[in-house]
Structure 1
Amino acid sequence: MTIHAALPDAGWAFTDDAGPAVTRLLDALPVRPRLLGLGEPVHGEELFLRVRNRLLRHLVEHEGYRSIALESDCLAGLAVDAYVAGGPGTLDDVMAHGVSHGWGAFAGNRELVAWMREHNQGRPDGDRLRFYGFDAPTEMMYAASPRHALAEVRDHVAAWGDPGQLPDDAALIEDLAGGDDRWTDEAAAMDPSRSVGSSPEAVRLRLLADDLQALLSAQAPRLLAAAPEEDRWRARLHARAAAGLLRYHAVMAAASPSRYARLMITRDTMMAENLLAIEAREADRGPTLVFAHNAHLQREEGHWQADYLNQALTWWTAGAIAAADLGARYAFVATAVGAMRHRGLGAPAADTFEGVLSTLPDDRYLLDGRRLAAALHAAGVEPVRRADNTDDHGYFPRDPAHVAASDGILFLRDVPADKD
């Protein structure tokens, strides 16, 4: 049997009714995952968002999923979660301030949040859908100040714990952090001398963040008895964010050849910490769909030839770190694409991974990664990795050497411009 004849047997057509293909893939896994990662090969395409939305609806209605986590600011995401729970505000406002990286403007993300709010109407708290951001509070060219996160943790202990154990006066956080613009100086992204991350104030704040995290652990019995679960979740989230931000700023201030790789490592570690915390929180409610770039969710080590930095970056991804803890309870579906002509990506060459997948009989196909790898091996086919020749350096072709490390491959033959 040729590889072209064997490929369809490695998966299922992925139609507008995504349910049958998704359920068959989940049935093929050794265990049902607690975190199901769906990756995209590049940001900014509405098609990926709409496919994700259809997938989530099926998972909610048929597989018991009760939450979604996006590659978006974990602290800002609290506002989105409050909105989908029925809280006040407008969709325009929550998308502008609750979804980072400018992605609140995408129609697919607006549709997701609006649908979650509608779905939650009249449902008890235990059955409502939750929205999470799991990214660090960072943007492309800056990271947030730790001031707000530290103050939130301190206020939580003061309100629900033993305030007599608080390490310092409340004004100390404000004095040490200073104005937020000190931390968000975009020039620091490329010039470590502009960063405040190694200043005496930042060093003292790192110690304070450590003290506050330890205090949350030390007072866990009291807080468990006194504080609402939502408040305790918020406090732990802010404690992780504060500690992670201060680590990130410290790396920004380091004039080291490995500076950019360490920034990637620090960010993905924060992502993984958030994913593991989400999995633990949702354990009694249902699994979580996670949506982000393939490069953050893949199980293997990340590699990026960042030509504009004149560096090759290597780091362990959030997915790899989470999988090291969760094992088979973490599953990853990578999205691969044929053509994105509006971004300079034409039809793939026949000998590439995407070129081989383009011989499938349907335009959209969901493949079992292990079965696909076995079919390629049995046919003696060794696809080459596609060149990154788009107009966007954020496109990462799937490496055929790691097909078996993907639980699933979602192949989309053509990605049109701004429409599904």
Structure 2
Amino acid sequence: MATDIKDTVQAVDAAAVMRLLPSRPRLLALGEPTHGEDALLDLRNAVFRQLVEQEGYRTIAIESDCVMGLLVDDYVTTGAGTLDDVMAQGISHGWGASAANRDLVRWMRDHNVRADEDGCGASERLRFAGFDGPLEITHAASPRQALTALHGYLAPRVDAELLPCTPDTLDRLLGADDRWTDPAVMMEPALSVGRTVEADRLRLLADEMLALLDQQAPHLLATTSPDAFERARLYGRTAAGLLRYHHGMADTSPARLTRLVSVRDQMMAQNLLALAERGPALVHAQNAHLQRAKSSMRMGGARLEWWSAGALVSTRLGAEYAFVATALGTIRHRGVDTPPPTTLEGLLYALPQDRCVIDAPRLAATLDTPPPAPRVSPWYGYAPLDPAHLADIDGIVFVRDVPQR
């Protein structure tokens, strides 16, 4: 390793992050190597607040159900509901219980209240978004909510003869929701309803309604709010994605799991691109969902490889997409102890700073050949940073030790 690694190191703040980039990107993504550690989320919150206040970002998106997230956005923008309710019902994967996520939502609402009191326009208000699909590890949601919401938006606004179906038809084809959400399907594809005649018909109807939404866009945008139209687009994307995911759940080929993780990240990418249309957004998720390099993981004894949401979005946005990964030294309460000195995390752990921002491409240029060995995690919930990906990362936030909270 060259001796100038310290020249790549800066304090952790928004200014340091922005100095890594040639200009303000439309989507600025911060990844994390593990979920559920509020110490990392507290750091995310601090950096995101600075980026909002100093760089004009107005949307914050996290790895959470995009439909559920509408409840949080309503609370943040209008005060609808209560903080307790939106944290319980508006954030998926159980992450609404996180104190750091609660602090983020509370701060966003307080920011908007102050903006309204100061007479600021809507452009100063913060918006919240989930950008994951309605998916959990064990199951996927029924497409009912997304399909019926899309139909409910179109029905009173377009000629009835243009609609491809009635609400009763949707209800009959959907059947009971527990057929779609049965967790046993994850291990037994034959139990899935994703390739039934009814599911195939629903996929066609979702496509027809999405096409109608596009065809009627001038009228719909003239007669409803832009937010209402964008929500209808979200429902349409989600319905189509869920039906595609359920189709994959019924797959019995060796490619089944690869198809599922690919569909999930495709759904994420579509949501992120829609957010980018609205204006500059900050994004937070697991590193593997945001990186430009091909993602991989082991699941069910097989190695899966797929293109992440970040890779898909970067292909579309180019320099308008930026990715800063988080790397860490220890999570001792999870059995992740001091990293070996021959690994990338081991090299960073030798730095004197507890937390720092590192120019990843410059760091890559300082490393000897061969590069550091990949770190092997003793805990399944933590994914070390792959040294081979350094050149495709704009920056690294390094946290030396993650304390238990």
| Residue pair 1:197, 1:253 contacting (<8 A) in 2 also | yes
Residue 292 of structure 1: aligned partner: 285
- 1-side partners of 2:134 and 2:123: how far apart? 28
Residue 51 of structure 2: aligned partner: 59
Matches within 5 A, 1:398-409: 398-409=385-396
What are the superposed Cα offsets for residues 8-53 of structure 1, whole Å, 9 maximum, x if unpaired?
2112022xxx2xxx32332332332110110000101001110110
Instruction: Check if 1:36 corresponds to 2:45.
Output: no
Instruction: Check if 1:395 corresponds to 2:382.
Output: yes
Match 1:205 to one of 190, 202, 205: 202
| Residue pair 2:20, 2:394 contacting (<8 A) in 1 also | no
TM-fit CA distance, 1:164: 3.0
AA of the residue aligned to 1:328: A
Match 2:98 to one of 102, 106, 109: 106
Residue 5 of structure 2: aligned partner: 7
Residue 417 of structure 1: aligned partner: 404
AA of the residue aligned to 1:311: A
Instruction: Check if 1:325 corresponds to 2:323.
Output: no
AA of the residue aligned to 1:416: P
Instruction: Check if 1:136 corresponds to 2:133.
Output: yes
Match 2:174 to one of 173, 177, 191: 177
Please say which of residues 233-242 and 151-160 is displaced more in the overlay: 151-160
Residue 250 of structure 2: aligned partner: 253
Instruction: Check if 1:276 corresponds to 2:273.
Output: yes
Instruction: Check if 1:214 corresponds to 2:201.
Output: no
Instruction: Check if 1:25 corresponds to 2:17.
Output: yes
Instruction: Check if 1:372 corresponds to 2:363.
Output: yes
| Residue pair 1:37, 1:332 contacting (<8 A) in 2 also | yes
AA of the residue aligned to 1:290: V
| Residue pair 1:66, 1:129 contacting (<8 A) in 2 also | yes
TM-fit CA distance, 1:261: 1.1
- 1-side partners of 2:139 and 2:6: how far apart? 45
- 2-side partners of 1:140 and 1:28: how far apart? 35
Residue 385 of structure 1: aligned partner: 374
Secondary structure at the counterpart of residue 319 of structure 2: helix
What are the superposed Cα offsets for residues 103-157 of structure 1, whole Å, 9 maximum, x if unpaired?
0000000000011011101143221000000001111111111111111111111
TM-fit CA distance, 1:158: 1.5
- 2-side partners of 1:356 and 1:91: how far apart? 42
Instruction: Check if 1:146 corresponds to 2:143.
Output: yes
Residue 93 of structure 1: aligned partner: 85
AA of the residue aligned to 2:134: P
What are the superposed Cα offsets for residues 185-222 of structure 1, whole Å, 9 maximum, x if unpaired?
00001110111101111010000000001001111111
| Residue pair 2:356, 2:397 contacting (<8 A) in 1 also | yes
Secondary structure at the counterpart of residue 85 of structure 1: helix
- 2-side partners of 1:116 and 1:149: how far apart? 26
TM-fit CA distance, 1:331: 0.4
| Residue pair 2:70, 2:129 contacting (<8 A) in 1 also | yes
AA of the residue aligned to 1:386: R
Secondary structure at the counterpart of residue 39 of structure 2: helix
TM-fit CA distance, 1:179: 1.6
AA of the residue aligned to 1:125: A
AA of the residue aligned to 2:291: Q
TM-score (norm 1): 0.93
| Residue pair 1:8, 1:361 contacting (<8 A) in 2 also | no
Aligned length: 400
Match 1:355 to one of 342, 346, 358: 346
AA of the residue aligned to 1:8: K
AA of the residue aligned to 1:226: T
Residue 240 of structure 2: aligned partner: 243
Residue 310 of structure 1: aligned partner: 301
Secondary structure at the counterpart of residue 181 of structure 2: coil
Secondary structure at the counterpart of residue 349 of structure 1: coil
TM-fit CA distance, 1:381: 6.3
Instruction: Check if 1:160 corresponds to 2:157.
Output: yes
Residue 194 of structure 1: aligned partner: 191
Residue 330 of structure 2: aligned partner: 339
AA of the residue aligned to 2:223: A
- 2-side partners of 1:163 and 1:10: how far apart? 62
| Residue pair 2:10, 2:358 contacting (<8 A) in 1 also | yes
| Residue pair 1:167, 1:211 contacting (<8 A) in 2 also | yes
| Residue pair 1:173, 1:205 contacting (<8 A) in 2 also | yes
| Residue pair 1:70, 1:290 contacting (<8 A) in 2 also | yes
Alignment CA distance shift 1:261-1:394 (3 Å) = farther
What are the superposed Cα offsets for residues 315-339 of structure 1, whole Å, 9 maximum, x if unpaired?
0000000000000110001100101
Please say which of residues 368-377 and 294-303 is displaced more in the overlay: 368-377
| Residue pair 1:157, 1:163 contacting (<8 A) in 2 also | no
